[in-house]
Chains A and B, each alone.
Chain A
């Protein structure tokens, strides 16, 4: 696909006019705040918000020295690995099965993609309801099995809750992409492998999975970004970062420190760190996709 159009229109003023709305919106609501975040991360405001002083990298140093920030980092890392790992495996399994059945594939697809429409916050509420220690139906079932479920007290339970809610929501998205990826593998390749003597298990690992790797890598990055950011609603609805701070993922901490604790400098510094992580992940993904082989 050409990166440039060979044939263009000639006009002096029209393109500027067409670009103006978007340029205005992203200028005011994106670049200006992003620049502000950058600026504020190097500043510190006093308690009354009356004066600001330049403190250089002090906010960043404070972050790295802050145990709760490092904990939040660990929590977020664990959370995103669990969400990505579970989410991708389950979706891949479902996609492979859906690719195999001829009858009913359409119905399964419809029934599996609707969770995409559910807001993360609502997902959080639903799973909270099911796992509520005293009235939740699943909590009840777990207790009947001998497990005393209480995510309000147990950090692992809390983490499990938000991981489950996050994975549940993301299954549809991953499923759709895996299915599309599977369907783009030419049938003759699978047939050739069958004639070469490969069992379905070997065919999957030797041919299908390697050819699915661009999709898998793409989804891995998307899922990690999802776990970092889009899950705010889940955390706020289900655990509010608790118990204590055990499930305060990084984005939650930014919100909490900025709007509850009013630590603007620290919050801005955290935002900048998050920005750096996202940019790195996105660049990595684009590089890999560019190198993606054209079979």
Chain B
């Protein structure tokens, strides 16, 4: 069990003038026993970051430490880590038991102890009846559990997960998510989990690292990232449907957008972007005027798409028990002041 320290990390491909930098100075800490999720869109560098922690990619500049030890020059085999891959990476020619035992066999562990560890992991993951099978005889969910079993038996200091749920179908994903949570509660191993799915991030993480374009946008608990997003990127990436972002100008007590002046609580003046989540706007007699254009019925709730003013799109989430608004109808929206977010118009940073 150990903490992970990432200090001023850079990653470049190529040399000299033609070098391409993909990670631009990243700092992060994963505390001992913590479950941290790195989330971001494709190409943001999250997998590269994870692979640098694993030792599968070289560090161009900066330091990675596991426990007290700086591991930049330490081989993956010696970092005392275990990794779960997106495509499971199970050895096809070995049985489930052999897959799990392989790493231990390499470390010349006595056979009795290997068996004991494999049995224990199989019990935790309910793989006992599959130990003699080959990976090709297993379903996707079972294969992923074997991959996790292989990680567990090693009893490492750190677990690394590289988008392990992406290859599973929707229902299996939910199931496996819960299993991973259960596993962490039981074993409490420091874990670093990479995904592009913000739902996985919100449900699994004790803390979330939001990445974009090789930089960290925000690190915080799910509540913090959801409730106080540090930038428009985080605000629109976390939460579904996405937060409404309204560009405009604050003057006096009003916020001017194209074709309307909205009443807002007093605050910083000038060009800025307002943010309000669809679930935080409520129907009222007076408030922001919204013209309804389209509706989507989801079952327990309704999504109402429309415009504020002339051209500013706005999405509203309504409980389905309320009567459905009609296209063309004019609604009035109210909200609690603490749910309104303000971002700098140019940088997107939180004000």
Contacts and interface: CB of A to CB of B under 8 A. Distances in A.
Instruction: Please say whether the chains A and B touch (CB closer than 8 A).
Output: yes
A197 B106 contact: yes
A195 B77 contact: yes
B85 interface: yes
Nearest to A191: B56
A197 B56 contact: no
A205 to B, nearest CB: 12
A294 B150 CA distance: 22
Contact of B102 (A206, A210, A211, A295): A206
Given A189-B91, A206-B102, A295-B136, A198 B77 contact: yes
B83 interface: yes
B89 A196 contact: no
Contacts of B56: 191, 194-195
Nearest to B80: A197
Contacts of A21: none
B76 A188 contact: no
Contacts of A188: 85-87, 89
Interface in B67-82: 75-78, 81-82
B328 interface: no
Contacts of A213: 93
B54 interface: yes
B297 to A, nearest CB: 39
B89 A194 contact: no
A192 B77 contact: no
Nearest to A202: B106
A247 B106 CA distance: 47
29 contacts: A188-B85, A188-B86, A188-B87, A188-B89, A189-B89, A191-B56, A191-B89, A192-B83, A192-B90, A192-B91, A195-B76, A195-B77, A195-B103, A196-B77, A196-B103, A196-B106, A196-B150, A196-B154, A197-B78, A198-B106, A202-B106, A206-B91, A206-B102, A211-B92, A213-B93, A293-B92, A293-B93, A293-B134, A295-B135
Given A191-B83, A195-B82, 17 more contacts: A188-B85, A188-B87, A189-B89, A191-B89, A192-B85, A193-B102, A194-B56, A194-B76, A195-B77, A196-B102, A196-B103, A196-B106, A197-B103, A202-B106, A207-B91, A293-B93, A295-B92
Interface of B: 54, 56, 75-78, 81-83, 85-87, 89-93, 102-103, 106-107, 134-136, 150, 154
Interface of A: 186, 188-189, 191-199, 202, 206-207, 210-211, 213, 293-295
